[in-house]
Amino acid sequence: MRRKIAAGNWKMNGLAASLSELEQLASALPPHAPEVIICPPAPLLFRASETARGSAIHIGAQDCHMQDSGAFTGDISAQMIADTGATHVIVGHSERRAAHEERDRDIRSKAKAAWAAKLTAIICIGEALEDREADNTLDIIAGQLAGSLPDGMTATNSVIAYEPIWAIGTGKVPTLEQIVEVHDFIRTKLTIRYGAEIADMIPLLYGGSVKPDNAATIFQAENVDGALVGGASLKSADFAPIIMALAQS
């Protein structure tokens, strides 16, 4: 049975005082909670790992470089992330793809770097509004899957997050039918490439304006194994109900 995951991406939000939210969240988790991952900004990784130690919360980074070390000012390697105590890293988020012009092959290299550092890669894919309106969503998703996913993917080293770009932070959410269509398509593509035994166990997350009031509906989909949540993960009071909805799905 695939594990359920609630992952929170804090993006460029949060200071040291924000780590109290981790303590509040840990105390609010139900006894049989799904896997919970919080991805704070890089300066908070070490302190977040220390704060979460002994709790059910895992800590992840929001990006990594594809190289282990070198003259890459301002970047952070997967090994450095692992050294903070973090266990996961997001790669290929649409904001990185757009603002930093990251390509599918860059994402693939970053995922492989994450694996080498014993991190689980949360690999993001998703279409823009113009792709959705032109009915090109599945073609875009197929291309990103082919280009961004390395060989050797397993349910241990990887999670895939589908985030339609037009739904991120906009309050717009695809219909349940649209979410089901894309997640089922992703599962089929994974099965073709990696085989049913591996593909059936890889968690698929939905991301894009997930809120406490719509989470239960989204989690009805068979191939939605959790969520990658942005703004609603910043406060325990907002994120805990989403986690509870996932636990009950």
Which amino acids are annotated catalytic?
93, 163
And the tokens for 212? Answer: 């406490």
Among 42, 57, 51, 53, smallest CA distance to 17 is for: 51
**CA dist list (Å): 133 to 126, 127, 187, 235:** 14, 10, 23, 33
Contact in structure between 59 and 38 (CB atoms under 8 Å): yes
Q: What is the DSSP string of 204-246?
A: EEE-SS--TTTHHHHTTSTT--EEEESGGGSSHHHHHHHHHHH
Q: Residue 89: which residues within 8 A CB-CB, separation 6 or more?
A: 39, 60, 61, 62, 63, 64, 78, 81, 110, 114, 119, 120, 121, 122
Tokens at 160, concatenated: 């895939």
